[in-house]
Amino acid sequence: MRVIAFPGGDGAPAEQSWAAELDAALSGRVEGPAADSWRELREDVRSLAPPVSPELMQRLERELAVSPAAPARPPRRLARLRALGRPQLAGAVAVAAALAVAVIVVGFGRSGAANRAVSVPPVAAGPARPATNAGKAQAESSAVAEPSVNGDLEPSRSSPSSAAGAPPGRVQQLAASVSLSAAPADVQAVSDGVARLAVRDEGFVEDSHVEVQQHGSSEATLTLRLPSARLSAALAAIGRLAPVSAESQSLQDITNAYDAARQRLADATAERQALLRALARATTEGQIDSLRERLSQSRSAIAQARSSLQAVSQRASTAEVEVTVLGDSHATSEGLTLHRGLHDAGRVLTVALIVLLIAAAALVPLALLIAAATFAHRAWRRYSRERVLQSP
């Protein structure tokens, strides 16, 4: 007869004390028949399993490389990556991607703002037909494609500068105004820099007024005339002299005025030609004197028409730029100062905060989705495992 003794046969004790008693018996801390019977039961259960074959142990040692002689360990960095696990790795990749997107978004935003501050928008391109020599009619005709007096040259309504923004065949007048902020002590230097830029760009200072006070506000106002084709570069260069606090640009279409001036010149020229032909056919002194007087008037009319056309061409070929330099005690100045350092630090922190906010805006929903998916996956996997153990 087999007798399998079980402790607590007369009724199960309270579960907590029972569990403690069981653990104490299995760990060998308690002696006695009951503890012995628990240990015997454990040994009986454990002995039912077949032993591990030496071949399996050798195979496991090979596969796991646990032998001290086998240095087959993955590199530390690789092991750390592997140890991260898929969810953590996916999270790290998502964070990096969100940060990259945020940096790109902020970078584009800032570059766009910078463009608005210091550069000319595409619509404000140079004039359609700049006039480079207003003094000579022939040169003017060739330079700005103005029709000749004989009318054998049709004006070219498109130019390289107009192709960028102005519609073909249109004549446009550009103007801009820029306000710069500089330290009061730097107003004069910035004004000089603006003037030098105007000369460098083949323009000139039409008007300037610089007022520098020792203990007060300093201000400078300059009116520049610059070639329209170089307006964009000039504004960008001006923006590099000092921080731009305000900028405005205007564009005026003067095609009608240009065409009217040109037509008046053509009409006056045609009238002079007709008078010259009539003079050649004149036979009496009275006709000759009358025609000469009219020719004299015609010359005046031609000169006036040509002058008018030159004025319109001048308006198209040059752009007026109003530059105001304001002495601001809070403006940044050249050199390394504590105020400037704090200002730059604040800007860096602001940008960093913006990046973090954008990243958080992208990451929070993503993290919620990943967490929900992970939770659902784990719950489903656990349910699937437990279902295997359910009795049929």
231/98 Cα distance (integer angstroms): 39
Task: Build a one-symbol-per-residue string for 148-177: x at contacts with another protein by CB under 8 A, - elsewhere.
Answer: ------------------------------
Q: Tell me whether residue 303 or residue 371 sits nearer to another protein (CB atom).
A: 371
- DSSP codes of every residue in 77-131: HHHHHHHH-HHHHHHHHHHHHHHHHHHHHHHHHHHHHHHHHHS--GGG---SS--
The two structure tokens encoding residue 52: 């591990």
Residue 19 sits in the site that holds another protein (CB under 8 A): yes
* SS3 assignment, position 156: coil
Which of 182, 173, 314 has its CA nearest to residue 238? Answer: 182
Residue 283 sits in the site that holds another protein (CB under 8 A): no
Query: Which listed range, 17-25, 142-150, 198-206, 250-258, lies at the site for another protein (CB under 8 A)?
Result: 17-25
Query: Which listed range, 237-245, 319-327, 364-372, 377-385, lies at the site for another protein (CB under 8 A)?
Result: 377-385
> Which residue in the set 31, 33, 52, 285 belongs to the binding site for another protein (CB under 8 A)?
52
149/373 Cα distance (integer angstroms): 82
> Which residue in the set 10, 31, 53, 284 belongs to the binding site for another protein (CB under 8 A)?
53
Least spacing, CB of residue 47 vs another protein, in Å:
5
Backbone angles phi, psi at 300, to 5 degrees: -65, -40
Q: Interface residues for another protein in 58-87 (CB under 8 A)? A: 59-61, 63-64, 66-68, 73, 79-80, 82-83, 85
Residue 42 sits in the site that holds another protein (CB under 8 A): yes
Residue 377 sits in the site that holds another protein (CB under 8 A): no
Backbone angles phi, psi at 377, to 5 degrees: -65, -45
Size of the site for another protein (CB under 8 A): 58
Residue 184 is classified by DSSP as: G
Residue 369 sits in the site that holds another protein (CB under 8 A): no
Order of strands, sheet of 244-253, starting from the edge strand that comes earlier in the sequence? 204-211, 219-227, 318-327, 172-182, 244-253
Residue 40 makes CB contacts below 8 A (sequence gap 6+) with 5
Least spacing, CB of residue 92 vs another protein, in Å:
15
Residue 32 sits in the site that holds another protein (CB under 8 A): no
Query: Which listed range, 55-63, 122-130, 291-299, 362-370, lies at the site for another protein (CB under 8 A)?
Result: 55-63
Residue 3 sits in the site that holds another protein (CB under 8 A): yes
CA distance readout (Å), 245 to 116, 179, 190, 326: 11, 6, 14, 9
Q: Tell me whether residue 136 or residue 382 sits nearer to another protein (CB atom).
A: 382
Question: Under a CB-based contact definition with an 8 Å cutoff, are residues 318 and 227 in contact?
Answer: yes
Query: Which listed range, 6-14, 277-285, 309-317, 334-342, lies at the site for another protein (CB under 8 A)?
Result: 6-14
Q: Tell me whether residue 19 or residue 274 sits nearer to another protein (CB atom).
A: 19
Residue 23 is classified by DSSP as: H
Cα diameter, the chain: 166
> Which residue in the set 10, 12, 31, 335 belongs to the binding site for another protein (CB under 8 A)?
12
Least spacing, CB of residue 332 vs another protein, in Å:
49
Query: Which listed range, 20-28, 119-127, 177-185, 287-295, lies at the site for another protein (CB under 8 A)?
Result: 20-28
Q: Tell me whether residue 50 or residue 160 sits nearer to another protein (CB atom).
A: 50
Angle at 279 between CA 276 and CA 283, to 5 degrees: 165
The two structure tokens encoding residue 81: 């990556």
CA distance readout (Å), 146 to 44, 129, 153: 114, 9, 7
Q: Tell me whether residue 71 or residue 160 sits nearer to another protein (CB atom).
A: 71
Q: List residues binding another protein (CB under 8 A).
A: 1-4, 6, 9, 12, 15-16, 18-19, 22-23, 26-28, 39-54, 56-57, 59-61, 63-64, 66-68, 73, 79-80, 82-83, 85, 382, 384-392
